[in-house]
Amino acid sequence: MAKILEGQKCPVCTSYLFPEDDIVYCPICGAPHHRDCYNSIGHCGLEEFHGTEEQYTYTPPQEKAQTQKQSENKTICQNCKNELSDDMVICPYCGVPKNARVFAFDYLGGVDAKKDLGEGVTAAEAAKMVTINTHRYIPKFAKLSKLNKISFNWLAFLLPEGWFFSRKMYKQGALATCAILAAQILNIPLLKIINGVVLNSYAEYADYIVKNISTFGKTPIIFSFISIIITLTVKLISGIFADYSYKNSVIAKCKQINKQNSDQAPLLRKLGGVNFLGFLCGVLITNYLPNIILMFF
């Protein structure tokens, strides 16, 4: 009895139990009590723990310490978390060396895979659609809502025509490309005037225009100013609302895929992922087409 009671306390009065004490044990979990303490409350002092999902059983402190020590001595695979025996060099479950250090990458950026991003589409489903750079976009999607549409996407700001096409948002990409092309076409009259003048920097470009503004006429200067306003407006709107627009696009495509009863892989490849060729085409069109048009003036 002395060995069993060593270090144990009565759950009612929290005093240590000794072999000479009048001891009773809970008939449900086996916890030891002073008889008087048990009778004073009429039930086990640990009754609140009875009837949990796994039937509560009292464990003496010595057994808890021993179990914890055994658990600490176990070798656990750092990749799949399965228990390994001492003679194992490689994990038989996943093939990773026993002492290997595994660094897990959070592809969802800390967002719960089951989190509803909108209209029943989960973060895990959206990640399959985004494919690349999910650790950036999924947290953005989780924060954006109808009341909070503002974010900032630097790539969409710098190259809106390329970014929208790359994310397979072709309507938005076409609008951005047309707007930027229109702005650059408006700048052609001024470019035609200064064509052939050797200017090594934007500072020289601005200085040349200021010095010769009286000879250019008002129309090329006004058109050039409008061109700058249009380009800056398109870039700002794209940079600020690109992530929100992309979220809506991803959710719509995920819902479209979820409606399909057949194999979803072909549709996922078609609608999701990144179109690098689209990015390249968008950038090349806006950068070189105006120069080609200028050749015919």
pLDDT by position in tens, the chain (length 297): 344 667 788 888 888 888 888 888 888 888 888 899 989 888 888 888 776 644 466 666 655 555 554 444 567 776 666 777 777 777 776 666 777 665 666 788 888 888 999 888 998 889 989 989 999 999 999 999 888 999 999 999 999 999 999 999 999 999 999 999 999 888 888 777 776 666 667 677 777 777 777 777 778 888 888 999 999 999 999 999 999 999 999 999 998 888 876 667 778 888 888 999 999 999 898 888 877 766 666
Please tell me the distance from the alpha carbon of residue 16 to that of residue 24, in angstroms, as a whole number.
Answer: 14
**What pLDDT was estimated at residue 162?**
94
48, 37 Cβ separation under 8 angstroms: no
- Shared-domain flag, residues 87 and 6: no
User: Is 45 inside any structural domain?
Assistant: yes
* Alpha helices (H) along the chain: 2-5, 35-41, 61-73, 123-130, 134-143, 154-158, 160-166, 170-186, 188-194, 202-211, 213-216, 218-258, 265-271, 276-294
- Shared-domain flag, residues 191 and 287: yes
**Three-state DSSP class for 76?**
strand
Q: Which residue in the block uniquely carries the two structure tokens 């589409």?
A: 121
- Shared-domain flag, residues 51 and 87: no
Query: Phi and psi of 2, rounded to 5°?
Result: -60, -40
- Shared-domain flag, residues 186 and 226: yes
151 half-sphere exposure, CB direction, 13 A CA radius: 23
79, 96 Cβ separation under 8 angstroms: yes
Beta-ladder partners of 34: 23
Q: Look at residues 174, 157, 154 and name the one whose alpha carbon lies nearest to residue 165.
A: 174
User: Is 46 inside any structural domain?
Assistant: yes
**What pLDDT was estimated at residue 62?**
59
User: Is 116 inside any structural domain?
Assistant: no
**What pLDDT was estimated at residue 168?**
95
**What pLDDT was estimated at residue 290?**
73
Phi-psi domain of 272 (left: phi exceeds 0; alpha: psi -120 through 50; beta: other): beta
Burial of 285 (0-12, 13-18, 19+ CB in 10 A): middle
- Shared-domain flag, residues 36 and 97: no
- Shared-domain flag, residues 189 and 276: yes
User: Is 16 inside any structural domain?
Assistant: yes
- Shared-domain flag, residues 152 and 290: yes
User: Is 252 inside any structural domain?
Assistant: yes
- Shared-domain flag, residues 196 and 257: yes
User: Is 172 inside any structural domain?
Assistant: yes
Q: Which residue in the block uniquely carries the two structure tokens 């995920």?
A: 254
277 half-sphere exposure, CB direction, 13 A CA radius: 0
- Shared-domain flag, residues 218 and 188: yes
**How many domains does the chain fold into?**
3
**What pLDDT was estimated at residue 4?**
60
- Shared-domain flag, residues 172 and 238: yes
**What pLDDT was estimated at residue 262?**
61
Range of the domain at 99: 74-104
**What pLDDT was estimated at residue 15?**
84
136, 109 Cβ separation under 8 angstroms: yes
- Shared-domain flag, residues 197 and 235: yes
User: Is 207 inside any structural domain?
Assistant: yes
107, 127 Cβ separation under 8 angstroms: yes
User: Is 117 inside any structural domain?
Assistant: no
- Shared-domain flag, residues 58 and 81: no
